Amino acid sequence: MYYSFPDNFWWGSASSALQTEGAREGETTWDHWFSREPNRFHNGVGPQQTSTFYEHWKTDIALLKQLNHNSFRTSISWARLIPDGIGEVNPQAVTFYNQVIDELLAQGITPFINLFHFDMPMAMQEIGGWENREVVAAYARYAQICFELFGDRVNHWFTFNEPIVPVEGGYLYDFHYPNVVDFRRAATVAYHTVLAHAEAVRAFRAGNHAGEIGIVLNLTPSYPRSQNPADLKAAHIADLMFNRSFLDPVLKGEYPQDLVALLKSYDQLPACQPGDSELIAQGKIDLLGINYYQPRRVKCRDSAVNPDAPFMPEWFFDSYEMPGRKMNPYRGWEIYEPGIYDILVNLRDNYANPRCFISENGMGVENEQRFIENGQINDQYRIDFISEHLKWLHKGISEGCNCLGYHMWTFIDNWSWCNAYKNRYGFVQLDLATQQRTIKKSGEWFAATAQNNGFTRE
């Protein structure tokens, strides 16, 4: 069967500043954490050892062109542009980002620019990070500077990538700095992130900038173990906490009332100030980026909560391993292609069918060198992964879902947080020792798919 996509469909990939650029003038939380605890990073590889996009941007963009990208998402590093987060703008960073944007446009590739991809300037974290409203104001200033510097050429802006992840990693589950485990502080970080998003949207609108502004959310459908009311309630609460806590504010301009009521009943609501609700209502977006990797399988708790235990989301649900599930053993994630369709249908039916696109979808594999054939990685598993997701994406579009594109994570094998280079995700293989780039079989397949605006699949 041939799967054809709409005209002007966005074919491309996604990346981030911190994971690709290399060393910068301003220290981030990742630089600081690595300097303190390098043992927390796979093979002791930190954020300085990236795919050197800062030096190789021109040849890398030529590779994007070779892969027939018509669009590409990356981010601006707040710490590179404004090293202390609030002070002087770094002119070298302005030059660099101008060059990248101009070269993308010269190659016929539309830049999608994200403002925050987990790279908090350490100077901002030292005064409390997203727990401090001064950092919200600093971020709003940074966003406005970006709009003024680059908005004449950038028509697709995103305020945050996966804002739930710093909440989970930094304040619930200890896999991001500052390694706090405290739900109330996590809720404050999430709430202030929504305020920061809304401040950036308000600044964008006030500046009458061309184009559109959105956010990128990692949406993880919550599937109940059964239709038993207890399992359904568990899945609903998981959805409230991990999806709708950001999805509702940015699409509806308000929080779900049942989430507010739940947190209030456990005395976990963050502190609000006069005018917050009006600000959040101004944060409604033009375009939603959807990162989809895995489903969340949920069941009701089988055991009582220890009344002396700290409040956590898992008070309300347990994870459930579905029998027969398909897994990516290297990342430990379930592969469930229909989830991408379910997300789109939910947006169509419950959120007025917003303009959206798949901003990330990907498969990380360890030790890919073992699949080299005639000098090229034969990653047929990645082609199968992409094409199966695209089949379900095509089904959603054919049923009226307003999805405008598909971006793969990622263009080139890059540094990936605590996993460093353990799992490779790229269309392009990176040799860390020589920095040589080699297109994988999946890159050739994607280039043909983008060129044909579709593909054949049984």
Q: What is the pLDDT of residue 110?
A: 98
Q: Where are the alpha helices (DSSP H) in 400-453?
A: 441-452
- Please write the tens of the pLDDT for every residue from 184-234: 999 999 999 999 999 999 999 999 999 999 999 999 999 999 999 999 999
The answer for 188, left when phi > 0, alpha when psi is -120 to 50, beta otherwise, is alpha
Q: Is the pLDDT of residue 8 over 80?
A: yes
Identify whether the C-beta of residue 455 lies closer than 8 Å to the C-beta of residue 3: yes
pTM above 0.85, yes or no: yes
Q: What is the pLDDT of residue 258?
A: 97
Q: Is the pLDDT of residue 48 over 90?
A: no
End-to-end CA distance of the chain: 6
- Please write the tens of the pLDDT for every residue from 280-322: 999 999 999 999 999 999 999 999 999 899 999 999 999 999 9
* Distant-in-sequence, close-in-space partners of 137: CB < 8 Å, separation ≥ 6: 199
Which tokens go with 429? 């293989």
List Cα–Cα distances, 278 to 111, 254, 272, 284, 351, in angstroms. Answer: 31, 9, 12, 11, 20
Q: Is the pLDDT of residue 51 over 80?
A: no
Identify whether the C-beta of residue 318 lies closer than 8 Å to the C-beta of residue 302: yes
CA torsion through residues 402, 408, 414, 415, sign: positive
Parallel, antiparallel, or unpaired for β 110-114 and 156-161?
A: parallel
pLDDT-derived band at 267 (thresholds 50, 70, 90) equals very high
Give the whole-angstrom CA distance, residue 316 versus residue 305.
9
Give the whole-angstrom CA distance, residue 165 versus residue 171.
10
- CA angle, 38 as apex, 37 and 41 as ends, to 5°? 115
Q: What is the pLDDT of residue 100?
A: 98
Which residue in 76, 2, 33 sits closest to 420, CA to CA?
33
* Mean pLDDT taken over the chain: 96
- Residue 320, φ and ψ in degrees, nearest 5: -135, 125
Q: Is the pLDDT of residue 458 over 90?
A: no
pLDDT-derived band at 332 (thresholds 50, 70, 90) equals confident
Parallel, antiparallel, or unpaired for β 376-377 and 372-373?
A: antiparallel
Which residue in 203, 105, 207 sits closest to 159, CA to CA?
203
Is 199 an active-site residue? Answer: no
The domains found in the chain, sorted by start residue, are 2-456 (3.20.20.80)
Q: What is the pLDDT of residue 49?
A: 78
Q: What is the pLDDT of residue 164?
A: 98
Which residue in 432, 440, 433, 428 sits closest to 372, CA to CA?
440
Q: What is the pLDDT of residue 25?
A: 81
Q: Which of 162, 199, 337, 368 is catalytic?
A: 162
Is 88 an active-site residue? Answer: no
Q: Is the pLDDT of residue 125 over 90?
A: yes
Query: Around Cβ 444, how many Cβ atoms within 10 Å?
Result: 15
Parallel, antiparallel, or unpaired for β 110-114 and 318-319?
A: unpaired
Q: What is the pLDDT of residue 39?
A: 95
Give the whole-angstrom CA distance, residue 56 versus residue 15.
14
